[in-house]
Structure 1
Amino acid sequence: MDTELSATVKADLLSIGSIRIDPALLPVQPTSLATAGPGAGGSSIFFRSGERRIRLTINELSPLRAVAKDGKVVLIKGDNVIARGMLEHPLCHCPEQAYITLSEKCVYDCQFCPVPKMQGGIKDSKKVHRMVAEAYATGELKAISLTSGVAVSPEKEVQRMVDVVKQLKREYDLPVGVSVYPTKHSSERLYAAGACEIKYNVETMNPEIFRRVCPDLSLQTVLDSLENAVDYFGRNRVSSNFIIGLGESDETVRKGLKQLTDRCVIPILRPISPHPLRKDAISIHRPSADRLLKLGGMLKEMLDCQSLCAEKSQTMCLLCTGCDLTPHRDL
C-alpha cells in the first residue's frame, strides 16, 4: 500500500530540507537550480505523493534517501519508508510553471541571501520568451511566474518586468505572477501590464531582525506596498515570503501574521537553511517539524478568519507549495 505524503511527514522533510538520491533515478536534466533568494545556487528535486509536493536540496550528507522500489520513488529516513510517490519534472525552476528570474544579481546585501555574492546574469526578453516557449511546448504549463533581484535600481527592475509581462500576455493566455521589490507605483503598473498576482517579501516581521539582515531595505515600505497591492490585485492575489529561522519568536510570528492577514495579504512561511556563501554572516536555525506545524496551523486559522484562501492562488510559491507547508493545500 502506498504511503502518501501527510502534512506531518512533509513538515519533517521540510525541517531537514535535503536528500540523498540514487543517480539512476535522475533524468538527463534532473534538478531545479534555484537562481533567486536564500536557496540560490542549490540543485534540488521535486517529489510528489498524493496531493502534496516537496522540494528537497540534493545533499550527499542528508539523513534522507530517495530510491526506486516497486515502480515508485520511496523516501527513507533511517530504516523506515516514510513516503512513496514520484519525482516531478520541473519546467523552469518548478513543475507546471515557467518560474523565471530576470536579474540573478542584486545591489542589496540581505545577510541571508547568496544572490549578491553570486552576481549572476540578466536574462533579456528573448531568453525569457524562449524559456516560456519551451515550457509551453510540453503541454504542462499552467502559469508564468517572474521574479528578480535588483541589478541597478527597483525602478529599472519594475520597468523591465512591466515590459516582459506585457509581451508575454500578448502571446499566452496564462496567469502571470510577479515578485519584485516594490516601488511607489509598481502595483498599479504591473497590474495594468497584465499580471494577476503580486508578491512583495517582508522577509521577517521583527523590525530589529529586519534592520540587521536587510540593512538596505525598508520593512514599512514593503508593508505599505502590500496594502496598496490589494487595492489593485484584490483578495487572494497578494502574498509575501515570511522567513522562519532568523531568530524570531513564535509570538513575533503570530503578531506578524496578524498584521499581514489583516491587510488581506497571504503570508508564505518559508523555512530557511544556511547558505555556504553566508555561513559567517548571521545565525540561522532551520525550524523543527513541530514548529512548522504549529505556525502553519496558526496561519491557517488567521487566513480563515479573513476569508482568505491560499488554494485560490494561480502562480508562484502558493501554486507550487514545494518549499513550504501551505495552508489549504497541505494543512
Structure 2
Amino acid sequence: MNELDVTKKKVSSLYSVETLLVDLHNKGMQTTGLTIGGRKGGAGPTDDRAFILNGKPVMIPVLNEPAKHSPYSLVQESSTLSLKHEELRSPIATFLEAVKRPKFYDLTTKDGIPYNKIAVLHGADVLASTVIQTCIRWSKEKRCQFCAIGQSLESGNTIARKKPKQLAEVVKAAEKLDHIKHITLTTGTPNETDRGALYLAECVKAIREVSDLPIQVQCEPPEDDTLYQVLKDAGANTIGLHVESFDEDVRRKVMPSKSEITLETYFKAFKKAVSVFGRNQVSTYVIIGLGEDLEKTIDGCEKAAKLGVYPFVVPLRPLQGTMLEFAEPPSSELMTTIYGRVSNILETENLSSTKSEAGCAKCGACSALPFFEKVIDKEGIDYAEELRN
C-alpha cells in the first residue's frame, strides 16, 4: 500500500464523528470564497466559527494559521455546506451547518453600545461575556503566550468593562430572541486579591433580576476562599478555575505571571470550590500542546476529577497575534489518546459534561472530550452515546 493509499484509508476513517472532530479542532478548515464570518481576537474561543456537526455545536478554527493550510475545506453545494478533504473526491460530511448570526447582535443597549460588544454567542446556545476585558498580566513579559484577551479591546470590538445592567439587558434579549440555554461570564484579572470575583458577583446579581438561566463564572482563584460562597449566593451555578496545564515547568514558561499561582494553590481552590458548588459544577481548562509531560497531565486530570472537578481538555489553538500564533497544534493521535484516558477517569469518578449546569464543560464545543465520555447514570443512560447519535 503506497503513501497516498495509506492517507486515503486514514482520512476515510474520519466518518467517525468524534475522530473527525479531533482532527478539525487541530487543523481547522479553509473557507475560501465563503462568507461565513468568525470571531477574530479576544478571550475564549476565537479565530473560529460555530457550526452544527451531526446535530451538535462545535467551534472549528477558520481564521488561524493552521486553518489557512488545512487539508479540510468547506464548500457550498447548492443549498448545503459540504466538508471535503484534499485527498478525497467525495465529501467527508454533508451534515455541517453554520450557526446563524444571533438576532440580538442587531440591537444596542440603552446607552448606545452594540449588544455584541457586551456579549457574544458561543456554540449554539451559550451567551458569553468577558466582563473585564483588561488584565494585569497583559504585557510582553507577563502575558500568557496563548492568550488574546487584549486584542478585541485594541481593535474596538468590545468595551473594557461591561456594566451589570448592560449584561442583564443583553441576557434578557438573547434569551427571548435566540433562546440561549446558559451563560458564561469570564474576566481578565484586575488584581491579585479577589481576581475579579467580586465584580463577577455583581454581574450575576444583575442577571438574576431578569433571568433564571444557569450561569458559570470564571476567574483565577481568589485569595479569600469565602468568595466562592459569595459567587454562589449571588446566583452562579458553576465555576471555572482554569489551571491551563498540570505541568509546572510549562506553566512557568508559557504563563510567567499566572504561574505564580501554583498548582498546590489551584488544588486547594478546587477542593474549596467543590465544597460550595458541588461535584461536577467546578471545571478547569487543560490545554494540550504547550510542551507538557503526558503523565503529569493525566495525573493532574485524575487528581482534579477525584475532587469532583471536570478537567476540560482542549487542544492548543494558535491564535493570531499571540506569542504562539505559529505554534503547531498537538497531533490528532495524541489528542485521541488523551481524550480516551481522561474519559476513563471521568467514568470512574462519575463526572460528565451533561451533568454540568453551565459553562465550558456544559457547552463542550471547543473539545471532543464529551464525545469520548462514557458515563452511565442510575437510569442506565449512556451520555456519550446520546451525543454520538
Q: Which category describes the TM-score, using the shorter chain as reference length? A: 0.7 to 0.9
Superposed, 1:1-331 pairs within 5 Å as 6-24=17-35, 26=36, 30-33=37-40, 35-37=42-44, 42=47, 44-59=48-63, 61-63=68-70, 64-78=72-86, 79=88, 80-85=90-95, 86-89=97-100, 91=102, 92-94=120-122, 95-108=124-137, 109-116=143-150, 121-155=160-194, 157-183=196-222, 184=224, 185-217=226-258, 218-219=261-262, 220-279=264-323, 284-327=327-370, 328=373, 329=384
Between the aligned partners of 2:362 and 2:33, the Cα distance in structure 1 is 28
Instruction: Tell me which protein shows more strand as a share of its residues.
Output: 1
Identify if the C-alpha distance between structure 1 residues 205 and 156 changes in structure 2 by more than 3 Å, giving closer, same or farther.
Answer: closer
Distance 1:19 1:149 in 2: 31
Q: CA RMSD in A?
A: 2.5
Q: Is 1:15–1:289's contact at 8 Å kept on the other side of the alignment? A: yes
Are 1:246 and 1:285, in contact at CA under 8 Å, matched by a contact in 2?
A: no
**Residue 84 of structure 1 aligns to a residue in which SS?**
strand
- After superposition, the Cα gap between the structure-2 partners of 1:308 and 1:88, relative to the gap in structure 1 and judged at 3 Å, is same
> Equivalents in 2 of 1:272, 1:233: separation in Å?
28
Post-superposition offset of 1:298: 0.6
Which residue does the alignment assign to 2:4? none
Closer/same/farther in 2, CA of residues 283 and 32 from structure 1, 3 Å limit: closer
Question: Over residues 93-151 of structure 1, what are the superposed CA-to-partner deviations in whole Å (9 max), with x where a residue is unaligned?
Answer: 31211111111221122222132566552222233223213311224211111111113
Residues 175-200 of structure 1: per-residue CA shift (max 9 Å, x gap): 11111112123311111111011000
Q: Secondary structure at the match of 2:209?
A: helix
Is contact 2:43-2:149 (8 Å) kept? yes
| Separation in 2, partners of 1:18, 1:316 | 25
Distance 1:316 1:100 in 2: 11
- Output the amino acid matched with 1:192: D
TM-score where L is the length of structure 1: 0.88
Q: Secondary structure at the match of 1:270?
A: strand
Q: Is the 8 A contact 1:4 1:84 kept in 2?
A: no
Q: Which runs of 5+ in 1 are unaligned?
A: none
* TM-score with structure 2 setting the length: 0.75
2:255 aligned partner, one-letter code: C
Distance 2:40 2:214 in 1: 23
* Residue identity in the other structure for 1:312: K
Relative distance call for 1:21 and 1:138 in structure 2 (3 A) is farther
How many aligned positions are there? 321
C-alpha displacement at 1:51, in angstroms?
A: 3.9
Compare relative contact order (CA 8 Å, sep 6+) and give the higher one, 1 or 2. 1
* Alignment gaps of 5+ in structure 2: 1-13, 103-119, 138-142, 155-159, 374-383
Identity %: 23
CA shift digits 1:225-264 (9 cap, x unpaired): 1111110111111100001000012212211111111111
